[in-house]
Structure 1
Amino acid sequence: MKKVLAALAIAATLTPFTCAQASTISFSDTKALSTTNWTDALSFGKFDTSLGTLTSIRFDLSGMVQGSGNAESLDAAASDVTLSLGALLGLTRPDGSTLVVTNPLFSQVFNFSAFDGAINFGGTSGGSTGTVSANGANFFISSNASDFSLFSALGGGTINLGLNAVGNSSGTGAGNLLTQFNTAASGNVLVTYTYTPASDVPEPATLATLAAGLGLMAAVRRRAKKQA
């Protein structure tokens, strides 16, 4: 009997424990560069519940702001002026609640003299960034049951999410400052579902190991009977 138990222990060591492996599936959509402020709807595939059990949803939002900024200081003294060009992008659920936001931002510092007498966004008291751009990115991971229900269905399907971009530019540094901004923004969204597959098929190597273990157990049992 001891030999049989020993053989069972050996077989157990030869047979690896199997566990479900996480899998992922992703959907993406993009909003082209457009003048802020804008709101649009992007379309994504829902998680097909026949694939398995959903464990998390990741929302990746990346965006770009592009544009120019001008400034003229009317101060009677020299000043350091910062122009910041930005766009606040937000991804929302169908009910309007926020999922994730990002704020691509470009900044440039100018050393202006006292007002030179001409409001032309040039000379010694004014300046321009020219056409510039900046990128930003952020993500949110949900394991909320309500999101799982909202973003999944048997057979999949589609869901529309809101994406909006609001100009978020500013000029600081002088008490009397004239500014002009022109911004456009674009956005890209990636929705990734992580799930446990509905069923795991054993690998051929695993099946072979199981067969070897069972064969060893049978051989030990036959030997034990002969010795009895």
Structure 2
Amino acid sequence: MKKILIALACTSLLAATSAHASVISYDVSKASTITNWSDVLSVKKFDSTLGTLNSITFELGGSVAGSGRAESLDAAGSTITLSLSSLLTLTRPDGSTIVVTNPVFSNSYGVTAFDGIIDFSGKSGVATGTVGSSHTESKISTSASDFALFSQAGGGTISLSLQANGLSSASGAGNLISQFSTSAAGDLKVSYDYTAAAPVPEPETYAMLIGGLGLLGLVRRRAAKQAA
């Protein structure tokens, strides 16, 4: 009986005071816009009253969409590679880089010697049509400076810069004319991994523990009198 009482009291106290790990995430995005561009993303901070931060994960997804075309002016056939690319960079308010992602579409085309007409078609010209690609990179931070920067009592927001630079290119022919049109979009997910603050035990929890210990003492005293 006494073992059961102690177990019940201790279990209740541990349940009331134990801490556990949790994750809370926030998403923000930038719609597809003609490159090059720079924008500010407002991201929610971690509410430090919820507990203690263990890590912050930044997941930056980027996409590039558009078209490219080229015309070879060479006197011989060649293989032309068209690459549509955008470099998306997420930075802190002080300008330091958090995470970078680089979506790339690339394809190669065989062409003949210049056909005499610069029309990006025929036998010496190529065009991708409308194409696109996406890519995601992530960064996990456990630095004290980031914990201080991305958290405060009650939450709040922080402004981060997101830039998208077009890096499209054409290669393969010694004399080559190329044109590109691209747009880029970005999606950011910030996840806060934290250990929740241990709640203060309710008064009845302490009462149960004290009562159990008191009853245990009474049982022991009775046992001692019976043995005397």
- What is the TM-score of this pair, normalised by structure 1? 0.83
Residue number in structure 2 paired with 1:42? 41
Residue number in structure 1 paired with 2:64? 65
Summarize the Cα distance change of 1:223–1:164 in structure 2 as closer, same or farther, 3 Å threshold.
same
Specify every segment of 5 or more residues in structure 2 that has no aligned partner in the other structure, as ranges: none
- Kindly tell me the number of residue pairs found equivalent between the two proteins: 216
Q: Deviations over 1:77-128 (max 9, x none)?
A: 1111110001000111011111001011101110111111111100111110
* C-alpha distance in 2 between matches for 1:27 and 1:160: 14
* C-alpha distance in 1 between matches for 2:171 and 2:200: 63
* C-alpha distance in 1 between matches for 2:221 and 2:175: 99
* C-alpha distance in 2 between matches for 1:81 and 1:219: 92
Quick check: 1:11–1:214 contact (8 Å CA) kept in 2? no
Residue number in structure 2 paired with 1:94? 93
Letter in 1 for 2:191: T
Letter in 1 for 2:195: T
Secondary structure in 1 matching 2:179:
strand
* C-alpha distance in 1 between matches for 2:200 and 2:22: 14
* C-alpha distance in 1 between matches for 2:106 and 2:214: 72
Instruction: Please identify, of 34-43 and 69-78, the stretch whose mean Cα deviation from structure 2 is larger.
Output: 69-78
TM-superposed CA distance for 1:20, in Å, is 2.4
Residue number in structure 2 paired with 1:181? 180
TM-superposed CA distance for 1:215, in Å, is 10
Summarize the Cα distance change of 1:217–1:79 in structure 2 as closer, same or farther, 3 Å threshold.
farther
Secondary structure in 2 matching 1:146:
helix
- What is the TM-score of this pair, normalised by structure 2? 0.83
CA RMSD of aligned residues (A): 2.9
Instruction: Give the ranges of 4+ consecutive aligned residues of structure 1 lying more than 2 Å apart after TM superposition.
Output: 14-20, 213-228
Residue number in structure 1 paired with 2:198? 199
Letter in 1 for 2:72: S
Q: Deviations over 1:181-212 (max 9, x none)?
A: 0000010111111111111578xxxx9xx89x
Specify every segment of 5 or more residues in structure 1 that has no aligned partner in the other structure, as ranges: none
TM-superposed CA distance for 1:219, in Å, is 9.6
Secondary structure in 1 matching 2:116:
coil
Quick check: 1:87–1:165 contact (8 Å CA) kept in 2? yes
* C-alpha distance in 1 between matches for 2:81 and 2:150: 43
Secondary structure in 2 matching 1:50:
helix
Letter in 2 for 1:40: D
Q: Deviations over 1:37-73 (max 9, x none)?
A: 0000010111111111111111110011010000111
Please show how residues 77-116 of structure 1 align to structure 2 within 5 Å.
77-116=76-115
* C-alpha distance in 2 between matches for 1:149 and 1:105: 35
Residue number in structure 1 paired with 2:20? 21
* C-alpha distance in 1 between matches for 2:221 and 2:75: 105
Percent of aligned positions that are identical? 57
